[in-house]
Structure formats: C-alpha cells, structure tokens
Structure 1
C-alpha cells in the first residue's frame, strides 16, 4: 500500500505566509478540550492556555525538537483535582500536580536505565483499560448535571441547549471531512454557544462592558492595557507555602493517576511514531518524551494550570495534513500563550454556559470510557479468563462506585486512585500474569517498534 506523501518534515521551517494558519489549526484542535478541563474543575481557563503553551515549548526542548506533539489539559486528572480542591484547596491541587510531574521524571530516569519492560509489567492492558473506563464513566454524573441542572434545579431550556451542542458535536464527528473532522469538540462548543445566545442563557454583560471599554479607549496604550490582561495565576511562595500545604492526602489523590497517564502517553507516542514513520520511542527516546510531559505538568503547577498530557486531537491533525514540523507545533504553543493573555478571548470562554459544556461532555466522557474498552479489544484481552475478569471487575466497581480507604484523618485513598492501586496489586499477585496482555502488542513497545523497523528494511 502506497503511503501518503509527507508535506513537511519534523525539522522543516514553514514559510511565513503559511506558518500562522498551520499553527492556528493545531490551536483549534486542542482548544475545546483544553478549556473544558479548567471549566469543569473551576480553574482559570486562561492559565490553562498559558500552561499548555509553555508546557508544549518545554516538551519540544526536552525532546530536542524531534517529536511534533502538542500538550494540553489532561482529562484523567479532573476527578483528582476536584477531590483535592475540596479537601485542600487549589494550592493542594497545584502541589499534587507538581508531585505527579516528579513521578514522570522518576519513571523517565528508570526507563533510561532499565528500558520499558518493568513498566509494562505493572501496567498491562487489563489494568489500564478498565482504569480509563473509570475515568470516563466516573465523570458521567458531572456531564449530565451540567447539561440538565441550574443550581441543582432541572431546566428544560438548559437541557435543550445541551442536546443541541451534543447533536452538533456528533454531526461534526460523523460527517465533517478534512481538518473539520478533527475539531468536533470546538465546533460543538461554538454551535452550542450560538444556540445558547438565541435562548437567552448567555451572560454578555462582561463582554459588552469590555468591548465598550475598548471602543472608548483614549489612547493606544489604554487600548492594549484593556485588550491584554494577565490570567489569574496561582504561584507558590507568593500565594501559598508549599511546605505548609504538603500532606499524604494530596499524594494519595493525585500521584497514582500519573501511572495511568504515562501508559496513555506511551500509546500516544506509538501512534505518533506510526503517523510520522519515525521511531520516537528510540530516538530521541521514550525517557525524553515522558520527561517532557512531566516537566510540562510541573510548569502548569507553578502557574495554576491543570496537569498536561500529549493530545490525540493534534496527532489527528498531523495525520491529515502530513505537516510534521515542530515549528508549527511551537507556533501553536505561542498562540495559546497569547490567547491566555487576551482579555476578549478569556471573557468569551468564561461566558460559555455550563449547559453547552455539559452537552459536549456527554460525548467526550463517553469517548474516554470507550477508549478504555478499545484498549481491551485491540489487545484481545480475554475477559472470559477468570484472572482478567477479576482484575477488571474490581477496578470498575471500586472506581465508579467511589470507594475509599480512610487511612488517617487527612489521608484518604479514593475512587480512581484506589482502583488503580488495587488493580496494579491484583495484577502483580495473581497467577497467570501473561494473560493480562492479551494477544495484542500495544504495550510491547521495544519489541514492536524494532519489529516494524526490521520489516521496513526488508521491504515488508
């Protein structure tokens, strides 16, 4: 089968006339999902955009400008952020995010020294798949509540807006072609927002006031002072003392999730390697990629943004456009930072009704859960086997049911974190460990990539 011709290689610099448009495509691809995470967790959307851009630039530097990956807000951390915020406040969330980034760094060093086999031993598909399902289905009540209710009361108008946003997102996903097919979330948000305006549920007061202020600016300096505004950053030392916030409860809530996102990260890197036809796990190396991801998360924790992760949406853009330039990715990162400081953009984001986000989230959270199911199917994991059935069943019920262990007054291991820990433990102690991988090879990264390289050299 003849492969599609590459338009731009990883290190190619685009022409100035095309650079902006190509980078804008990647910004649009990540935009809807990246602002949805802070929206759901009541964090600053502007700070999320800035941390996304800074994290991506840091990632490109760590990976020596050899991996065209964009990083945005991680959905896996939505529930842990909500729990940590309720128990310890947003400073606790930031400290927990930093510690999760530190875990990335530790695992990166271990991979460099020991390879990847030890990681796949503790995170086979039968463990990771059900945990991803827990992430999606655990968020389902949040999506439905946002879609149906206003301050706890049912609203038919809001639910109708949510259904319209959902319908537009589904139509965009199923029928749109080309670049539009990789930004259905953004299209759904825009379409739902426009419909919400017609239903009178969008508060335009802040936007109108801002635009009037811009129109009445007495000087260019006053105009730019109004047009640009620093996000609501949460900065350690200035806003809180990390040593006073630190406790085991934050560690228990936030850190275990990093193991799941690292497994997702490996999957993204393998897909990206296939799209670009380069073995990124070998050069510049999986250890560098994971280190870059962890550094991006730590940067986010220093300014009040959610943890970052590589984005499948942007991998989709690469596959469609065949433009692999890291300079295009870097341009998108710069645009994200500028958007975070642009008052008009921030106010538009803040004016989006929860019903619109709820409607889009119904599909998005379901897709997350389905991707966990797909991991089991793609790896041909046999759930008829008693061992696999036990591990997956326990993970699903503990995670979705909201089980928790109260270790001390401050330390609680709950929900997703508990299910991940129990799943890893069961996989390590139950006999027949080889069955946890199924008949697929998704996680046999070293062997699979080397095999593919060999086949290419032999002309297979």
Structure 2
C-alpha cells in the first residue's frame, strides 16, 4: 500500500478558484450513473439530481462533516421500483423508498445499541453475495430489451440500428474503463453515454425537439426575467400529501418488494465506508460511526421519497475521485451537491437527458448490470467463502434459482412476495437455521473495522 499526504483534509476549505473545479469533478463522476437509474425506472432525472444533492447535504450534516461521501441513485432498487411502479405507479415507488429509509433508520438505531455483530449474523457474505448476483442478472433482460428493440412499441420490434448503437456505446464504455487513466478512468459511464449519443445522432435516432424548444425559449426571451424563466424550470416533483396520499398507496406488497433490498444496500454501504476509511486514512466506522453513516444514507433516501427521486446510496466513483485527487474536503463534496441541485432546475439539462436514445442507455446497462452481478461474486471471493461446505452451496443455490427464476408467493389477491425479495428472505432464513453459520461468513472481514496506521492526513492506494 502506498501512502500520501492529503492535498486537502476532511474539514479544510478549498480556495475559491479551485472549489468549483474540484466539485465539478465529483459531479461528472456521479452524473452518468445517477441519471441512468431514473431513466430506467421512469422517474425524473432532474428530480434525481436534486434529491441526490439534498441527500448528500443531509448526509454530511448527520455525519457531522466527518465523512466525505457523495450519494447518488442506487442501482439495487431498479428492479423493485420497476415492479412497484407497474401496479402502484410512481406514488407506490415513493412509498416503498420511504419504507426503505425507515429500515435504514432502524438498523442505525440497532447498531448504536448492539454493535454490528447481529447484522453480520443476519446478512453474512453467503447471503448478500448471491442476492447481489440476482439483482444484476434479474435486470439483464431490461438492458437487452432497451438495446435491441424499438422504444414505445406494444410488441417487441427488433432494430438492427438500435442494437448497433447499443454495441458501440458498450464498446466505448469498455474502452474508457480499461484504457483511460487517472480521473478519466472514473467516468466510463459518462464517456459511454456521450460517445453513444454522438453515434446515435449520426444514425438519426436522436430526437432533439425538446432541446430545440428550450433553445428557442432562451433565444426569444425579451428580458432578464424572461431569460431566467426560460433557463430555469421546476422539476416534476412527486410530493406526498400533495400529489398523492401515502395511506391510499401503502401495501404489504410494496413492503415485501422494497424492504429486503434496503438490507442488501446497507451491507454495500458498509463496504463503501471501509474503502473510504482506507482511502482517507480515518476510521469512519468508529468516528462518526457506522450508525451515523447508515442513518445519513437513510435520511437521503427519505428525502428522495418525498421529492419523487430514486433511493440514494454512497458512490464508489466518487470514492475513486478522492483517492486520485487526495482532496478529502467535505466542502468540495457539498459544492458538488449544490451544483447537482442547480442542474436539476435547468431545463436544457433535462431536455438533453430526455433526448438520449434508449439504445444508448441499454448499451451502458449491459455492462453495469453485469458488474452488479460480478460484484456479488467478488464479495464471495473476497470473504473466502468455501463452497466445499454443503450449507454454503445450498444457501447460494437456492437464492440464485429462486431469484433469477422469478418464483413468488401469493399471500393475498394484492400481496405477493416475488423474485429477488423472496430469494433474500429465504436466504436469510436458510442461513439462520442451517448448522455452521460461521462458515457463511468466510474470513469475516465484511464488518470488521479496518486497522489504520494513522488517523490523520493519509491516503492508502493499493
């Protein structure tokens, strides 16, 4: 491990002429992934930007300005949001996000009282790893449908042009991931979307009418007030008790679909905190504590549910920016959050995002959803899970087949425990009742606080 002095420590304020540039780096790092989630789930990308900004500011406040982490749209919730939206619309998805936020709060409370050992018993790697694999594989058909078929058709209509655009987008994303160095290596999604968009434009499948309308409104503004009105637009917020009544939407079906994924993302959040601790050189699992960071994540998700955005989570891309730049200042992270909020209110940004062809997003998603599945496999490898043990083989096998196969339990006419949620629940139960629970933890590193040589001004890069 190499060790370097921090360019800016956690609570240092950058000079004004550098502040904007440093914050924009974080914005670019999270932008592609954050807008992809609402694009796939039918939510508003502008609302996702605003909710990620407010969520990050709330997170920084709750962690008392000690953890430099940016929060963006969570990929783990793509599947449950899509499924809930089919039956209950966006309002149902927001109620589900609110319930997920409550789970974060409950887990944070339990950790503050009992520590993390109980969470390790409930969600060891042998359960979480296969569930993450199921999340990635369960979304595979969504990516392929977006890549291959004409959008907006009642039946699937194959399009060679769209599939070619998707493959070019995928190729650009892969090249950016493998061959780009330094900060640019953290932006493969953004490069893929931009490159794919340019190629799609040459193929005539980019609808620029919304962009043209925004431009016409700006150029035709006859006064400063008119210009500001043309530039800034109110995002399509979905606010509880204003746009819908939560009590009319809430159901056990929504709870069973959304809550299990909150438990999985909490485990992922813990992993991010461990990596972040190693990068910055401060043990964030002890100070301010895992309970504070999980609570901050939950409040960010709660804020998103009150605005109409997807649940939020800490972003590995932004942790990578910290590692490369050695700028750990929470003020830089806060600046990125403020810029994201402003971008969410700019109509031209929304118009450009809405003009991105589904084939482009499909091409990016092929890689991203595969990476999600592979990260579950990596969790099993990193924790040295022994599949020579029958109980481990059984737990993983049952989770994979139930989750990917789409099994469900029909509780009532309206309540159904399906797919990934059912797989997660059964996986937890099997792990608790089968003998040899310690074998499902592997080396047990997932919840162990990293031992740091120095608690100040150090960065650790493998």
Q: Compute the TM-score of the two structures, normalised by the length of structure 1.
A: 0.97
Helix, strand or coil at the partner of 2:72: strand
Cα distance between partner residues in 2 of 1:364 and 1:149: 19
Does the 8 Å CA contact 2:29/2:318 hold for their aligned counterparts?
A: yes
| C-alpha distance after superposition, 1:90-144 (max 9, x if no partner) | 1111111001100100110110010000000011101000011111111000001
Does the 8 Å CA contact 1:179/1:320 hold for their aligned counterparts?
A: yes
Does the 8 Å CA contact 1:267/1:442 hold for their aligned counterparts?
A: no
**1:206 offset after TM fit, Å?**
1.4
5 Å-filtered alignment, 1:52-451, equals 52-150=52-150, 151=153, 152-438=156-442, 440-445=443-448, 448-449=449-450, 451=451
Give the alignment's Cα RMSD to 1 decimal.
Answer: 1.3
**1:313 offset after TM fit, Å?**
0.7
Q: Quick one: structure 1 residues 115 and 453, their matched pair in 2 at CA, closer, same or farther if it must change by over 3 Å?
A: farther
**1:249 offset after TM fit, Å?**
1.1
Does the 8 Å CA contact 1:406/1:413 hold for their aligned counterparts?
A: yes
Does the 8 Å CA contact 1:34/1:49 hold for their aligned counterparts?
A: yes
Provide the residue aligned with 1:17 in structure 2.
17
**1:247 offset after TM fit, Å?**
1.5
**1:452 offset after TM fit, Å?**
4.3
**1:228 offset after TM fit, Å?**
0.3
Cα distance between partner residues in 1 of 2:163 and 2:446: 41
Which deviates further from its counterpart, 388-397 or 247-256?
Answer: 247-256
**1:209 offset after TM fit, Å?**
1.7
Helix, strand or coil at the partner of 1:285: helix
Provide the residue aligned with 2:459 in structure 1.
none
- Count residues in correspondence: 452
Helix, strand or coil at the partner of 1:3: strand
**1:255 offset after TM fit, Å?**
1.0
**1:455 offset after TM fit, Å?**
12
Return structure 1 stretches of 4+ with deviation > 2 angstroms.
Answer: 451-456
| C-alpha distance after superposition, 1:398-440 (max 9, x if no partner) | 11111111101111111111111000000000001111011x3
Structure 1: runs of 5+ lacking an equivalent:
none
Cα distance between partner residues in 1 of 2:233 and 2:118: 46
Helix, strand or coil at the partner of 2:3: coil
Provide the residue aligned with 2:26 in structure 1.
26
Cα distance between partner residues in 2 of 1:214 and 1:454: 53
Cα distance between partner residues in 2 of 1:219 and 1:271: 50
**1:454 offset after TM fit, Å?**
9.5
Does the 8 Å CA contact 2:281/2:455 hold for their aligned counterparts?
A: no
Structure 2: runs of 5+ lacking an equivalent:
457-462
Cα distance between partner residues in 1 of 2:122 and 2:210: 50
| C-alpha distance after superposition, 1:345-386 (max 9, x if no partner) | 010000000000000110111111111000001111011211
Cα distance between partner residues in 2 of 1:2 and 1:346: 42
| C-alpha distance after superposition, 1:160-205 (max 9, x if no partner) | 1101110100000000011100010011000000111111100011
| C-alpha distance after superposition, 1:210-233 (max 9, x if no partner) | 101211111111111010001100
Q: Compute the TM-score of the two structures, normalised by the length of structure 2.
A: 0.96
Cα distance between partner residues in 1 of 2:372 and 2:248: 35
